[in-house]
Amino acid sequence: MFTLQTRGLISLNQAAFEALGKPVAVALLYDVGEGIVALRMVEKNYRNAYTIRKQGSSRSYLVAAQGFSMHNKLPTDVSRRFPGHDYGEGVWGFALREGTAVKSRGAARSP
């Protein structure tokens, strides 16, 4: 699973991180016509590398993709979760049309 957060961050669950080969950095790819965002493992000194960092004590990982998201005009009005897809040759990603809104954990609960 991947999540595109409201601030343009991309989070990956443990399974997505492992499917990518447990990378230190990734290249971000975008197919405008298909609306597909994809990631592939690269060396951290790769020209357009985005570093992946573990999110605290959870089993999820973050990519600071704010510039990428803004440049490609990705929908970040609400956080959306996406199923991951294997696009071959070590490329994993998600189709924007398959996103479902994520409910905020900090939202007020009904009594």
Span 5-22, pLDDT tens digits: 999 999 999 999 999 999
Q: Give me the pLDDT at residue 110, please.
A: 47
Number of domains comprising the chain: 1
Average pLDDT over residues 73-86: 96
Question: Does some domain include residue 107?
Answer: no
Across the strands, what pairs with 37?
30, 94
Q: Is residue 55 part of a domain?
A: yes
With respect to residue 87, please indicate whether it lies within any of the assigned structural domains.
yes
**What is the pLDDT at residue 103?**
83
What range defines the domain where residue 9 resides? 2-101
Q: Which of 10, 43, 4, 39 is nearest to 24 (CA)?
A: 43
The answer as to whether 31 is a domain residue is yes
pLDDT of 60 above 90:
yes
* Owner of token pair 């993709």: 65
